[in-house]
Structure 1
Amino acid sequence: MTTLNQPATWRCGRFLFDFSKRQRPLVMGILNATPDSFSDGGKFRTPKDAIAQAELMISAGVDIIDIGGESTRPGAEPISLQEELDRVLPVIEALRDCGVTLSIDTYKAETMRQALIAGVDCVNDIWALRQAGAVEAVLENADCGIVLMHMQRDPQTMQLSPEYQDVIFEVLQFLKVRSELLIQKGVDQNRIAIDPGFGFGKNLEQNISLLANFQDFTSLGLPVLAGISRKSMLGKITGKETNERVSSSIAAAIMAADRGAKIVRVHDVPETVDALKLWDAIHSHINT
């Protein structure tokens, strides 16, 4: 079995995750306060509905709640800063003291700033802080967690014939360069996690390669996030519609965990938590 280069800790604002004391990946629950996200758009658009969904995830054992106000599905149109803030800030403020880590899923620097002030612990950015002012926004906060994701092109064009000479090498090099840039600017390494970006500028074959070789991304010594839940790659393999991909999403999360994922970003929190409890029990028995 491949020996994985494991990170020691991950700092997320008020929370510190010690990976030397746990094998089970952190479960990041997706909370889309949007009308048009690919899987659950519109279901949690009002603060009341979003908060109720968050409470369900907390009771199921979620570790992180990832709050997003703008869809980044293929072909999604961008929204204004104010519209995004109007969607996410009431949810953040209501959940600020809920007892679990809060993350903001955004690429806008001002949304990052205001979300951090409102109480989030982590910035999860599909652009890997490449938008104007984003690096400066996280530098202003000494403790927030940071998730850097790889994406080829942008949400409007990323799925138009994505091309790579070597998808693993190119994605890994991108994440290495982006994380090293932050470290050079004074960000502690233990605040940074990386995400190879399943479905963000990758076709089915490239996505399968990312999962099959997921352990390669652990070579940077940073926590690696797997975000595969309900994505089109699963539909293409199983023939199932978006909301029928719970089983394949859980299977993908387990495969990623076997290959060193430290965070799995999912829609179906109770089912994933249960599956990972079993995975953890077996791995703990093997290692005793």
Structure 2
Amino acid sequence: MKNLSGRGEVAGLPTWDRCAVMGVVNVTPDSFSDGGRWFDTTAAVKHGLGLAAEGADLVDVGGESTRPGATRVDEAEELRRVVPVVRGLAAEGVTVSVDTMRAAVAEQALAAGAVLVNDVSGGLADPAMLPVVAATGAPFVVMHWRGLLEGGNVRGVYEDVVTEVCDELHARVEAVLAAGVAPERVVIDPGLGFSKDAEHDLTVLAHLDRLHALGHPLLVAASRKRFLGHVLAGPGGTTPPARERDAATAAVSALAAHAGAWAVRVHEVRATADAVRVARAVEGAR
């Protein structure tokens, strides 16, 4: 199923005639980009509402950092962080996704008003995830994943990164469909920064057309990631901190939108909201 811009649409979610913008709310003390700033429920809800006001079409709420080297929190703590924020945002009419690798968190977040499950493991981290998603009928983001990053950059070795990412994503999507998730509810994500170095990330971004060939809407999550720091590094090789990579993130958002991405996931919304609208205007002028 295609929308006016040919980006694909996701059953159960609103449709847009341009690349959608997914804003990030990290309810964690240790996120790589904004750790601790929105750890309080009230502050997190306020931040999510602010992202929506700045142009976010969806707000992605997560309670567990997936940065390299991060230690996993327990299920009870993740639930405590995530569910009240999801409930608060959904009550204000925000379209909410939940960023989790745990089935129980996904299930309770969906009950609290979330409408999309964004699992960086694509259902591999928790065997109960796919049955929960299938039973609830929720749309599901399947990311390219080669394991938890507690030990650093896990298995980031490729002979042909684009082919291998596409093949591994295809296999994972087939498993998701076999578990009962409807094909029109599947979104794919190439997993920039996960088991990939800067060269891998840039190569994948340069070949998003290969990912489109898998036949599902595409989410691109490049915001503030390490590869942008490498691109922006000064003469001495010093990389700017994560929060100084927003202009570069907006540039990737424009490129991804031009390449047909369904959505981009970003921490700073305003510049990316402008970028995707400009990309759509240029498309419309053809």
Is the 1:6–1:221 Cα contact (8 Å) retained in structure 2?
no
- Could you report, residue by residue, the CA deviation over 1:57-104 in whole angstroms, capped at 9, with x for unpaired residues? 111121110000000000000010000001011111111232232111
1:11 aligned partner: 11
Counterpart Cα distance in 1 of 2:206 and 2:65 = 27
Is the 1:158–1:200 Cα contact (8 Å) retained in structure 2?
no
Counterpart Cα distance in 1 of 2:263 and 2:219 = 5
Shift of 1:6: 4.5
2:69 aligned partner: 75
Query: Could you tell me the percent identity over the aligned residues?
Result: 36
1:233 aligned partner: 227
Equivalent residue letter for 1:114: Q
1:57 aligned partner: 51
Shift of 1:237: 1.1
1:127 aligned partner: 121
1:27 aligned partner: 21
Counterpart Cα distance in 2 of 1:174 and 1:75 = 23
Shift of 1:123: 0.5
Matched, 1:44 2:38: yes
Structure 2 residue ranges without an equivalent (≥5): 234-239
- Could you report, residue by residue, the CA deviation over 1:212-237 in whole angstroms, capped at 9, with x for unpaired residues? 11121000111111000100100011
- SS of equivalent to 1:229: coil
- SS of equivalent to 1:271: helix
1:244 aligned partner: 244
Residue in structure 2 matching 1:88, options 82, 105, 127: 82
Is the 2:130–2:181 Cα contact (8 Å) retained in structure 1?
no
- Could you report, residue by residue, the CA deviation over 1:237-259 in whole angstroms, capped at 9, with x for unpaired residues? 10222111111111111111222
Shift of 1:7: 5.4
- The TM-score with structure 2 as length reference comes to 0.92
Is the 2:7–2:260 Cα contact (8 Å) retained in structure 1?
no
Equivalent residue letter for 1:257: A
Is the 1:6–1:222 Cα contact (8 Å) retained in structure 2?
no
Equivalent residue letter for 2:122: A
Equivalent residue letter for 1:248: A
1:173 aligned partner: 167
C-alpha change, 1:161 and 1:180, in structure 2 (3 Å) is closer
Equivalent residue letter for 1:210: V
- Could you report, residue by residue, the CA deviation over 1:100-144 in whole angstroms, capped at 9, with x for unpaired residues? 3211100011111111111110000011001221111111202x1
Equivalent residue letter for 2:270: P
Residue in structure 2 matching 1:198, options 192, 199, 222: 192
1:141 aligned partner: 136
1:113 aligned partner: 107
Shift of 1:181: 2.1
Shift of 1:171: 1.0
Matched, 1:266 2:266: yes
Shift of 1:183: 2.2
- SS of equivalent to 2:91: coil
Is the 2:68–2:152 Cα contact (8 Å) retained in structure 1?
yes
How large is the Cα RMSD of the aligned pairs?
A: 1.6
Counterpart Cα distance in 2 of 1:8 and 1:207 = 23
- The TM-score with structure 1 as length reference comes to 0.91
C-alpha change, 1:7 and 1:237, in structure 2 (3 Å) is closer
C-alpha change, 1:232 and 1:9, in structure 2 (3 Å) is same
Equivalent residue letter for 2:15: F
Counterpart Cα distance in 2 of 1:277 and 1:259 = 14
Moved more, 65-74 or 131-140: 131-140
- SS of equivalent to 1:119: coil
Counterpart Cα distance in 1 of 2:28 and 2:79 = 11
Counterpart Cα distance in 2 of 1:160 and 1:94 = 35
Counterpart Cα distance in 2 of 1:255 and 1:150 = 20
